Amino acid sequence: MESINPFEIVKQQIDKCAEIMHLDPSITSMLKSPVRELHVSMPVRMDDGSVKVFQGFRVQYNDARGITKGGIRFHPEETIDTVRALAAWMVWKCALLDLPLGGAKGGVICNPKELSSYELERLSRAYVRSVFQFLGPERDVPAPDVYTTPQIMAWMMDEYSIIAQKPQFGVITGKPPALGGSLGRGDATARGGMYCIREAAKVLGIDLSKATVAVHGYGNAGYHAARLCSDLFGSRIVAVCDSMGGASSADGIDPEAARECKLSTSTVCGVPDTELISGDDLLEMDVDVLIPAAIEGVITSRNARKVRAKIVAELANGPTTPEADDILYENGVHVIPDFLCNAGGVTVSYFEMVQNFYLYPWTEADVHERLDKKMTAAYHSVVNTSREYGINMRQAAYVRAVERVVEVMRLRGWV
C-alpha cells in the first residue's frame, strides 16, 4: 500500500539514495533522524474573550552545514511528520543550492481562514515566545510557507526583538522590504522554478512561447508561476485551480483575472470565459508544463499513469509519491523535483540574511541575476547526474544534496 505520510516518503527516498551512493548505515541513520524538535502548546486569547490552545512544532532537521533555515506553516492538517519531512527537504534544498545553511521547518495546527487579523497576530507572537530559545539570526531563521505572510514575519520579528531587547531583523526572512525584507523575495519561489523550466525546455527542445501550462494551486507560488510563465515566456495558461476547484480555457486564462476572481470570491472557479474543472482533472490534462503548486501527495500511483505533461515542475513540497515518481520516469515525463524547483524561495531568503548581516540592501535586478545563476547551475548539475547514473531527477537531486551534507558531517567528525 502506498504511503502518503510525508516523513515515511522521506525515509524511503533516503534509503534509495543510500543504495545508489553505497552509504554507511550510520550515515543513513543520521540522515533519517531530525537532530532536534520542539512541540509546544500555546494559549491564545480569541476576540470573543475565550482562550484557545494551539499546538505547534519546530523541527531542526540537520545543522551540519550551518544555521538552520525553513518556513513556518499555519495549516489545519499540520502534523509532526509533515513538519519533519518538510524540514528534511529544507536540508537537501539548501545543500543542493550550495547555501551555507542547514534545514528546519515549523508548523502550527490552525485554520488562518477562520482567525481574525488580531487573533492571527496573537498566535504569531505566541509561537515566537514558545520557540524563542530555539531561534536566532545565528541559530535558526524561519520564513513564510503555506498560509503565512510577510505581515506575519513582521509580527514574529517584532516579538523576537522585544524579548531579545534589541532589533533583530535577521531572525526571520520574507519580511516586508520596508523592514529589512529582500526585494524579489515575494515571487522568488515561482521565479526560481521559471529558471528551471526555461533550462528544461532547452534540454527537451520545447518552445515555451507556444507551450501550454496548467497550474495546480493558486496561492503565492501558483499565482506568480502563472504570471511569470505568461510574462517571461509568453506561454498559454490553460488551467488553474485551488482547493475548491478550478477553471480551464483552451484560449488561455489571464493570470491577473484569476487572481482578482480569487481575491473577490476566495476561489478561481468562475473566472470569466472559462469552464469549471476539478483539481484532479487538471493534473491529467494534455499540456506541455504541469506545475503542482499546492500541497503534498497529489500525484500518486492512482493518477501518475494519466499525467500527460512533458514537464512536471514541482513548486509545492512533496507533491509526488515515490511510486508515482517511478511511473513518471518510465513514461518519460521530465520531473523538476520540489527541492530543486522551489528552492528560489530559500535562496532569496539566504540573500535576505546576507543583506541583514551587512545592513546593505541589494537591487531587485541583483537578486534576480544571482538567483538565476544559482538555479541554473543547480538544475544542470541535477540533469547531468541523472544522465550519468541513469536515475530519475529526484534521485539525482538527492545524490548531489546528500553528498554535500555527508561531506560536512564527515569533516565535523559526526560520521
Catalytic residues, by residue number, are 105
- Min. distance of Cβ 390 from ligand GLU in angstroms? 29
Binding characters for ligand GLU, 357-386, by CB under 6 A (x = yes): ------------------------------
Which DSSP string do the residues of 244-300 spell out, in sequence order?
TEEEE-TT---HHHHHHHHHHHSSSTT-TT-EEE-HHHHHTS--SEEEE-S-SS-B-
Helices 80-96 and 344-358 pack at an angle, to 10 degrees, of: 70
Nearest residue (CB) to ligand GLU, 11 versus 69: 69
Separation CA 322–CA 394 (nearest Å): 9
Q: Please tell me whether residue 82 binds ligand GLU under the rule CB under 6 A.
A: no
Nearest to 333 by CA among 196, 198, 229, 204: 204
Separation CA 368–CA 194 (nearest Å): 11
Nearest to 214 by CA among 294, 297, 327: 294
* Stretch touching ligand GLU by CB under 6 A, among 52-60, 106-114, 149-157, 340-348: 340-348
Q: Where are the alpha helices (DSSP H) in 41-187?
A: 80-96, 117-131, 150-164
In the window 156-215, what residues touch ligand GLU (CB under 6 A)? 173-174
Nearest residue (CB) to ligand GLU, 189 versus 248: 189
Q: Which of 170, 345, 355, 400 binds ligand GLU (CB under 6 A)?
A: 345
Separation CA 312–CA 341 (nearest Å): 10
Place of cell 548581516: 357
Q: Which of 6, 34, 56, 70 binds ligand GLU (CB under 6 A)?
A: 70
Place of cell 469549471: 276
Q: Please tell me whether residue 346 binds ligand GLU under the rule CB under 6 A.
A: yes
Binding characters for ligand GLU, 21-60, by CB under 6 A (x = yes): ----------------------------------------
Separation CA 130–CA 141 (nearest Å): 15
* Stretch touching ligand GLU by CB under 6 A, among 68-76, 118-126, 208-216, 265-273: 68-76
Q: Please tell me whether residue 318 binds ligand GLU under the rule CB under 6 A.
A: no
Separation CA 252–CA 392 (nearest Å): 31
- Min. distance of Cβ 267 from ligand GLU in angstroms? 23
For residues 399 and 21, the answer to whether their CB atoms sit within 8 Å is: yes
- Min. distance of Cβ 153 from ligand GLU in angstroms? 10
Nearest residue (CB) to ligand GLU, 143 versus 237: 143
Q: Please tell me whether residue 143 binds ligand GLU under the rule CB under 6 A.
A: yes
* Stretch touching ligand GLU by CB under 6 A, among 58-66, 274-282, 324-332, 342-350: 342-350
Residues that bind ligand GLU (rule: CB under 6 A) add up to a total of 13
Q: C-alpha 58: how far from its chain's center?
A: 16
Q: Which of 11, 58, 69, 224 binds ligand GLU (CB under 6 A)?
A: 69
Q: Which of 63, 145, 284, 296 binds ligand GLU (CB under 6 A)?
A: 145
Nearest residue (CB) to ligand GLU, 105 versus 259: 105
Nearest residue (CB) to ligand GLU, 349 versus 385: 349
* Stretch touching ligand GLU by CB under 6 A, among 65-73, 114-122, 201-209, 308-316: 65-73
Q: Which of 13, 130, 235, 317 binds ligand GLU (CB under 6 A)?
A: 317
Residue 137 grid cell: 539570526
- Min. distance of Cβ 206 from ligand GLU in angstroms? 26
Separation CA 36–CA 139 (nearest Å): 12
Strands 212-216 and 245-248 turn out to be unpaired
Q: Please tell me whether residue 103 binds ligand GLU under the rule CB under 6 A.
A: no
In the window 207-246, what residues touch ligand GLU (CB under 6 A)? none
Nearest residue (CB) to ligand GLU, 181 versus 246: 181
Cα–Cα separations (whole angstroms), residue 97 to 3, 49, 402? 28, 47, 12
Separation CA 207–CA 229 (nearest Å): 12
Nearest residue (CB) to ligand GLU, 343 versus 396: 343
Nearest residue (CB) to ligand GLU, 71 versus 112: 71
Cβ atoms within 10 Å, residue 243: 13
The number of residues in the chain equals 415
For residues 73 and 106, the answer to whether their CB atoms sit within 8 Å is: yes
Output phi, psi for 127, to 5 deg: -60, -45
Binding-site ranges for ligand GLU (CB under 6 A): 69-71, 93, 143, 145, 173-174, 317, 342, 345-346, 349
